[in-house]
C-alpha cells in the first residue's frame, strides 16, 4: 500500500485511490464541484487543486492517483491562491442571484465561496446568459447558473442509463442540456437535482415553496415501491415540503426514484380526514363513534358463524402494525378469509425464501449472471434496476430476460416471452442453459408478472427448479429472488396475512362478496382490486386516500399515510425497516393501528396490546424476523431456510404480462398527485399514442 | 439504447448514402469504441455536404449506434465542424496567443472591413465565410489563417488583400476544396 504524506502527516492508503480520497481519509476537506464518488472523474472544475512536490504547478487531486512517496500540501499559500482563483473563474459567469435561487442555503458554490473564495472579483464585463432548457415536469432549470461540472451529464449517462444530457458548444458558449429540447426520459431524473452543486437544476414542484433552513428533517423509509428506499422527509409545520434520499449503501445508495421523490403532493389531496358512513347510497360525514357503531351493528346482524361471512384484504401500502392488528380482529372472529395479494400473485407463504429477494440488492454486485423472469425492474423497482446496471457496467455480467421486451438501460439477451422458454431452459434444450451452467454466481429475478396468473404457482415452482438445477442456492448465497412491487407485501406474508384453512384468497373474496356468501369485507387500504364485485357486501375501507376502495365503501375509516405514522415495513429483501412520523395525519385521521384497536374495542373484542411497543412485541411473537431491524434476509444471523414452495404443475403458454402500465400512478398517493399526473402526460401519454392504444 | 431518430423513422435516411455508411463502418473498425469514430464520420459527412445540419448529425449517430447527444457535443465543440452553411471559401482566422501577439486582432478587423461582414457571417455572394478559431498549431508562422484546407501564414493586411483577390478570381469549378494557393 502506498505511503503518502499530506501536510507533513504520513498515511498509508489503498492503491488505486486518488489524492482527494486520500485527503478525505486523512480527515482533510478538499472543496470540489465536479468530483462525485459515484460518478466517473472528469476533473473540470479545478476546485480541488493541491500542491504536490516536486510539481511547480498545482494538481487536480480528484484525478491524481496516489503513488508511494507522494508529498502533498493542502494548506499552503499556493493552494489557497489556486482555490481563490478557481472560484473567481467559476463566478465570472455565475449570477449572484442567491436571494432568489432555490439552492440558496444548501448550495455548494455558496458554501465553498464563503470558506475559500475572495470577497471580490476583478471581472468588469457583462456576465453571459444562457437560455433555459425544458427538462420536463420535474427538473427546473436556470442554466445561467450552470458551472459546467457535468455531474448531471455523467449521472444520466452512467447511473440512469439514458444518454440524453450533454455539454454542447465550447468555452464561453458551453451549455449543458439535452440534444433536442425534451424531457429527460428517466425514472431517476430527480437525482440530478441533488447532484447539481449550484442552482442550475432545482426541483420544479418544490420551487419557491420553502428555504432549506425552515425545514424539519425526518429520517424514514419510502413505501411507493417494495425497495424500501431510505428517505428524508422535509416538512414545515404540518406539511411535507419535499422528499430527499438518505444514504443507504445496501438499498438505494444515495438515489431515489422520481415516484418516491415527487409523489408527496399527493399526500395533500384526496385525503380522508374524517370517518364517513353510507346512508341512502351516499357517504356522509360521521363521527368515529357513528362509524364504529355502524360496523358493530352490521357485524352483529350476521347470522350464524360470523367468521365465515367476514373477509379482509390488505392493500399495498399497509404497515405491518395495522396488518397485525387487523389479523387479530379476524382471528377473534375465527375468519380464515384474509389475503394481501391484491394482484393475485401466487406467492407461497410456506417458505420465506420463496417470496424474498434473497440475494439482497447489494448482493447483485457479486452475481455474474441474472435471469429476469416476467419482470421489468426499471419500472417496478428503478433502484434495483440501477444496481443491475451498475453491475452490468462493471463487466462480465450476462443478463437475460423472459417476458415482455423492454428497455432496461443495459443490454440483455431476450430469450422468450413465457413459460415455454423456462421449460426449455430447464430441459437444457435452450442455448442459455449452457451459460447458466458456466456461471459461478447466477441469480434469477421473478416478477409479479410471472406470478399473478392462473398458473403462477407452477411458474414459482419452475423458477425454484431453475434455482436448484443451476446451483443458485448454496450455504452462503441464494440466487433466487422475487421482486415485489408493493411495500406491504412481504410484511403481510411474514405476518401470515394469507388465507387460513379453508380461507378465500383475493379472487375468492371478490367472488364471495359478489355472490353474497361474504357479507362484510374489510379493505385495509386495498385499492387495486375490482371493487364492482363488492357491491352486495358491506364494505369497510380504512386508508388515507379517497380512491377506488373508499368509493365502494359503506364505512370509511381515515388512516395515516406513511409520512404520518411510526410504522414497520418489510422490503423485498426481507429487510424490516421503520418509518417515522414526519407530520400528523390530517383532520380526524389516526395512525392505523390505533384505529384498529379502537374498532376491536367497539366490536367487544379484547386487543392484546395497548401501546405500539406491545403491538410490535406481538408482531415479533408472530414472526421473529421483526425483532431484527434493517437487516436483509441475506445477512441475518438466522438464515432463511431453503424449503419447498410453489406447486409444480403445468404452465400455460401465454406470455408473461408487463404488470405496471404507468410507473407514476401505481398507488393512491401517486394517483392523487398533480406532479405524477404531469409526468404521466409527459412520459406515458405520448407513448400510448404511438402504439395506437388511445384509438 | 439509441432511440431511433424520428427523421430516419419517418422518411428514411436522406443524407448518408450507402457508400458513406460503408465507409463509416470501415472507420469504426479502426477504433476500440464506436464513440471514437464520431469525428472521422463527421468529417466524411461535412466533406459531402459542406456543413452538418441536424438531420446529418442524427443519421451519423444512427449509423454509428451512439447516442445523438454525443455526436451533437462533438459537432458543436470543434471549430472545424460547421453546423451552419458556409461560403465557397471558409476563412478561419486564428486569434490564439501567438497570433494575437502578432496583430491577429487587427487582421480580424481588416478582414471584417474588407468583406463587409462580422465574424461568423457569410458574404452576400456566398463566396466567403469568416470564422475565428482556436490555435491552428502553426505558431511559428503566426499570424495564421486557414481557408478551406489551405494554410496562409505570416499574414499581413496587404497579404490578405492579395489572397482575397486571388480567390475571387478563381473559376467557380475550383469548388469548395480550395486548391493550394
Chain B interface with A: residues with Cβ < 8 Å: 1-2, 66-70, 72-73, 76-79
- pLDDT score recorded for residue A185: 84
Residue ending a domain, among B77, B105, B132, is B77
- pLDDT score recorded for residue A407: 92
Query: Is pLDDT of A691 > 80?
Result: no
pLDDT band at A179 (very low <50, low <70, confident <90, very high): confident
Q: Is residue B97 part of a domain?
A: yes
Mean pLDDT of all residues in A32-39: 96
Task: Tally the residues of chain A.
Answer: 695
Q: What is the percentage of chain A residues whose pLDDT exceeds 70?
A: 99
Could you list the residue range(s) of the whole structural domain that residue B100 is in? 89-169
Q: What's the structural domain count of chain B?
A: 2
- Specify the long-range contacts of residues B119-122, CB closer than 8 Å, at least 24 apart: B122/B85, B122/B86, B122/B87
Say whether both B125 and B156 belong to one domain: yes
Identify the DSSP state of A158: I
Q: Is residue B159 part of a domain?
A: yes
Main-chain dihedrals φ then ψ at residue A494, nearest 5 degrees: -65, -35
Mean pLDDT of all residues in A97-122: 94
- pLDDT score recorded for residue A636: 83
* CATH architecture of the region A358-483+642-660: 3-Layer(aba) Sandwich (3.40)
CA distance B40 to A243: 46
Nearest to A166 among B2, B72, B79 (CB): B72
Mean pLDDT of all residues in A316-338: 96
Task: Tally the residues of chain B.
Answer: 181
Say whether both B62 and B103 belong to one domain: no
Say whether both B95 and B53 belong to one domain: no
Say whether both B93 and B164 belong to one domain: yes
Interface with A, mutate which of B10, B34, B38, B69 (most A CBs under 10 A): B69
Contact at CB, B1 and A179, closer than 8 angstroms: no
Nearest to A179 among B1, B69, B77 (CB): B69
3-state secondary structure of B167: helix
pLDDT per residue rounded down to tens, chain B (181 residues): 343 444 444 455 678 888 999 999 999 999 999 999 999 999 999 988 889 999 999 999 999 999 999 999 999 999 889 999 999 999 999 999 999 999 999 999 999 999 999 999 999 999 999 999 989 999 999 999 999 889 999 999 999 999 999 998 888 755 544 444 3
Q: Is residue B28 part of a domain?
A: yes
In chain A, where are the structural domains located?
3-90, 358-483+642-660
Lay out the sheet containing A276-279: strands in order across. Answer: A282-285, A276-279, A555-558, A538-543, A520-524, A310-314, A338-339
Beta-carbon contacts of A342 under 8 Å, excluding residues fewer than 6 positions away, are: A313, A315, A316, A486, A506, A526, A528, A529
Say whether both B104 and B162 belong to one domain: yes
Where helices occur in chain B by DSSP H, the ranges are 6-11, 18-28, 38-49, 54-64, 68-77, 97-101, 104-115, 157-169
Other CB atoms within a 10 A radius of the CB of residue B109 amount to 11
Q: Is residue B82 part of a domain?
A: no
| CATH of residue B39 | 1.10.10
Angle at A228 between CA A225 and CA A230, to 5 degrees: 125
Say whether both B62 and B106 belong to one domain: no
Partners of A282 in beta bridges: A279
- pLDDT score recorded for residue B177: 47
Q: Is residue B158 part of a domain?
A: yes
Strand pairing report for A398-402 and A369-373: parallel
Say whether both B94 and B165 belong to one domain: yes
- Whether the CB of A169 is below 8 Å from some CB of chain B: the reply is yes
Q: Is residue B93 part of a domain?
A: yes
Say whether both B101 and B158 belong to one domain: yes
| CATH of residue B155 | 3.40.30.10
Query: Is pLDDT of A368 > 50?
Result: yes
- pLDDT score recorded for residue A695: 39
Contact at CB, B72 and A168, closer than 8 angstroms: yes
Residue ending a domain, among B77, B105, B127, is B77
Mean pLDDT of all residues in A42-64: 94
A228 Ramachandran zone, left/alpha/beta (phi>0; psi -120 to 50): left
Q: How many CB pairs under 8 A join A and B?
A: 34
Query: Is pLDDT of A109 > 90?
Result: yes
Mean pLDDT of all residues in A362-370: 96
Q: Is residue B32 part of a domain?
A: yes
pTM of the entire structure?
0.91
Nearest to B69 among A164, A170, A409 (CB): A164
CA distance B171 to B167: 9
- pLDDT score recorded for residue A62: 96
Say whether both B94 and B68 belong to one domain: no
How confident is the model over A245-289, as pLDDT tens digits? 999 999 999 999 999 999 999 999 999 999 999 999 999 999 999
* CATH architecture of the region A3-90: Roll (3.10)
Say whether both B94 and B72 belong to one domain: no
Say whether both B71 and B93 belong to one domain: no
Query: Is pLDDT of A144 > 80?
Result: yes
Contact at CB, B1 and A407, closer than 8 angstroms: yes
CA distance A245 to A233: 9
Main-chain dihedrals φ then ψ at residue A295, nearest 5 degrees: -70, -50
Q: Which residue on chain B is closest to A182 by alpha carbon? A: B69
Nearest to B73 among A162, A167, A409 (CB): A167
Say whether both B48 and B103 belong to one domain: no
Interface with A, mutate which of B9, B76, B80, B132 (most A CBs under 10 A): B76
Amino acid at each position: 500500500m502506498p505511503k503518502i504524506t499530506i501536510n507533513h502527516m504520513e498515511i498509508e492508503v489503498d492503491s488505486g485511490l486518488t489524492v482527494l480520497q486520500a485527503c478525505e481519509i486523512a480527515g482533510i476537506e478538499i472543496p470540489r464541484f465536479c468530483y462525485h464518488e459515484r460518478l466517473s472523474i472528469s476533473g473540470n472544475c479545478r476546485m480541488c487543486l493541491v500542491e504536490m512536490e516536486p510539481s511547480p504547478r498545482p494538481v487536480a487531486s480528484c484525478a491524481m492517483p496516489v503513488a508511494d512517496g507522494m508529498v502533498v500540501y493542502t494548506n499552503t499559500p499556493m493552494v489557497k491562491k489556486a482555490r481563490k482563483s478557481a472560484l473567481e473563474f467559476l463566478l465570472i459567469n455565475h449570477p449572484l442571484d442567491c436571494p432568489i435561487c432555490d439552492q440558496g442555503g444548501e448550495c455548494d458554490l455558496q458554501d465553498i465561496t464563503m470558506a475559500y473564495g475572495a470577497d471580490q472579483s476583478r471581472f468588469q464585463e457583462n456576465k453571459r446568459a444562457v437560455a433555459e432548457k425544458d427538462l420536463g415536469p420535474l427538473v427546473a432549470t436556470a442554466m445561467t447558473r450552470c458551472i459546467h461540472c457535468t455531474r448531471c451529464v455523467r449521472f444520466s449517462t452512467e447511473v440512469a442509463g439514458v444518454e440524453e444530457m450533454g455539454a454542447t458548444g465550447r468555452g464561453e458558449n458551453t451549455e449543458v442540456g439535452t440534444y433536442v429540447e425534451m424531457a429527460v426520459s428517466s425514472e431517476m431524473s430527480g437525482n440530478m437535482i441533488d447532484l447539481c452543486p449550484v442552482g442550475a437544476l432545482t426541483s420544479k414542484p418544490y420551487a419557491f415553496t420553502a428555504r432549506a433552513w425552515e425545514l424539519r428533517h425526518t429520517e424514514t423509509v419510502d413505501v411507493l415501491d417494495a425497495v424500501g428506499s431510505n428517505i428524508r422527509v422535509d416538512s414545515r409545520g404540518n406539511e411535507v415540503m419535499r422528499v430527499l434520499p438518505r444514504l443507504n449503501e445496501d438499498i438505494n445508495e444515495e438515489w431515489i426514484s422520481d415516484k418516491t421523490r415527487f409523489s408527496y403532493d399527493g399526500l395533500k389531496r384526496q385525503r380522508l380526514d374524517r370517518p364517513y358512513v353510507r346512508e341512502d347510497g351516499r357517504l356522509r360525514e360521521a363521527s368515529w363513534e357513528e362509524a364504529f357503531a355502524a360496523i358493530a351493528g352490521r357485524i352483529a346482524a350476521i347470522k350464524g358463524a360470523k367468521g365465515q361471512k367476514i373477509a379482509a384484504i390488505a392493500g399495498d401500502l399497509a404497515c405491518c402494525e395495522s396488518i397485525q392488528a387487523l389479523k387479530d380482529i379476524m382471528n377473534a372472529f375465527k375468519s380464515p378469509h384474509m389475503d394481501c395479494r391484491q394482484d393475485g400473485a401466487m406467492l407461497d407463504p410456506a417458505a420465506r425464501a420463496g417470496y424474498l429477494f434473497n440475494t439482497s440488492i447489494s448482493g447483485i454486485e457479486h452475481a455474474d449472471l441474472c435471469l429476469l423472469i416476467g419482470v421489468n425492474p426499471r419500472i417496478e423497482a428503478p433502484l434495483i434496476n440501477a444496481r443491475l446496471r451498475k453491475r452490468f457496467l462493471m463487466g462480465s455480467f450476462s443478463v437475460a430476460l423472459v417476458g415482455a421486451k423492454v428497455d432496461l438501460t443495459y443490454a440483455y439477451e431476450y430469450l422468450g416471452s413465457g413459460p415455454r422458454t423456462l421449460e426449455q431452459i430447464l430441459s437444457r434444450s435452450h442455448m442459455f442453459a449452457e451459460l447458466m451452467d458456466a456461471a459461478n454466481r447466477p441469480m434469477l429475478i421473478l416478477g409479479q408478472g410471472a406470478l399473478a396468473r392462473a398458473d403462477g404457482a407452477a411458474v414459482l415452482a419452475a423458477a425454484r427448479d431453475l434455482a436448484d438445477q443451476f446451483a443458485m442456492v448454496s450455504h452462503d448465497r441464494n440466487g433466487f429472488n422475487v421482486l415485489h412491487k408493493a411495500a406491504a407485501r412481504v410484511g403481510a406474508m411474514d405476518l401470515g396475512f394469507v388465507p387460513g384453512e379453508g380461507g378465500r384468497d383475493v379472487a375468492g373474496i371478490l367472488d364471495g362478496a359478489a355472490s353474497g356468501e361474504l357479507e362484510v369485507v374489510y379493505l385495509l387500504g386495498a385499492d387495486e382490486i375490482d371493487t364492482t364485485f363488492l357491491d352486495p357486501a358491506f364494505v369497510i375501507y380504512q386508508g388515507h386516500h379517497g380512491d377506488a376502495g373508499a368509493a365502494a365503501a359503506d364505512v370509511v375509516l381515515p388512516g395515516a399515510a406513511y409520512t404520518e405514522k411510526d410504522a414497520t415495513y418489510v422490503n423485498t429483501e426481507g429487510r424490516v425497516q421503520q418509518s417515522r412520523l414526519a407530520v400528523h395525519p390530517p383532520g380526524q385521521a389516526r395512525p392505523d393501528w390505533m384505529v384498529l384497536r379502537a374498532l376491536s374495542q367497539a366490536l367487544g373484542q379484547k386487543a392484546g396490546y395497548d401501546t405500539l411497543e406491545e403491538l410490535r412485541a406481538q408482531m415479533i411473537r408472530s414472526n421473529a424476523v421483526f425483532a431484527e431491524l434493517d437487516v436483509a434476509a441475506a445477512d441475518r444471523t438466522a438464515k432463511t431456510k431453503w424449503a419447498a414452495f410453489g406447486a409444480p404443475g403445468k404452465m400455460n403458454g401465454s406470455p408473461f404480462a408487463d404488470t405496471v402500465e404507468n410507473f407514476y400512478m401505481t398507488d393512491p398517493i401517486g394517483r392523487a398527485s398533480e406532479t405524477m399526473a404531469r409526468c404521466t402526460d409527459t412520459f406515458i401519454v405520448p407513448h400510448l399514442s404511438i402504439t395506437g392504444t388511445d384509438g | 439504447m439509441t432511440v431511433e431518430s424520428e427523421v430516419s423513422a419517418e422518411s428514411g435516411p436522406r443524407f448518408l448514402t450507402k457508400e458513406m455508411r460503408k465507409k463509416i463502418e470501415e472507420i469504426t473498425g479502426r477504433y476500440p469504441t464506436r464513440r471514437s469514430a464520431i469525428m472521422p464520420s463527421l468529417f466524411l459527412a461535412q466533406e459531402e455536404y459542406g456543413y452538418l445540419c441536424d438531420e446529418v448529425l442524427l443519421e451519423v449517430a444512427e449509423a454509428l449506434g451512439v447516442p445523438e447527444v454525443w455526436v451533437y457535443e462533438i459537432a458543436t465543440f470543434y471549430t472545424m465542424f460547421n453546423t451552419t452553411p458556409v461560403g465557397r471559401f471558409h476563412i478561419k482566422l486564428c486569434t490564439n496567443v501567438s497570433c494575437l501577439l502578432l496583430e491577429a486582432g487587427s487582421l480580424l478587423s481588416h478582414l471584417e472591413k474588407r468583406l463587409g461582414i462580422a465574424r461568423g457571417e457569410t458574404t452576400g455572394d456566398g463566396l466567403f465565410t469568416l470564422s475565428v478559431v482556436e490555435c491552428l498549431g502553426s505558431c511559428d508562422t503566426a499570424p495564421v489563417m486557414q481557408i478551406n484546407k489551405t494554410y496562409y501564414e505570416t499574414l499581413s493586411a496587404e497579404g490578405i488583400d492579395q489572397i482575397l483577390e486571388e480567390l475571387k478570381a478563381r473559376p467557380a469549378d475550383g469548388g469548395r476544396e480550395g486548391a493550394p494557393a
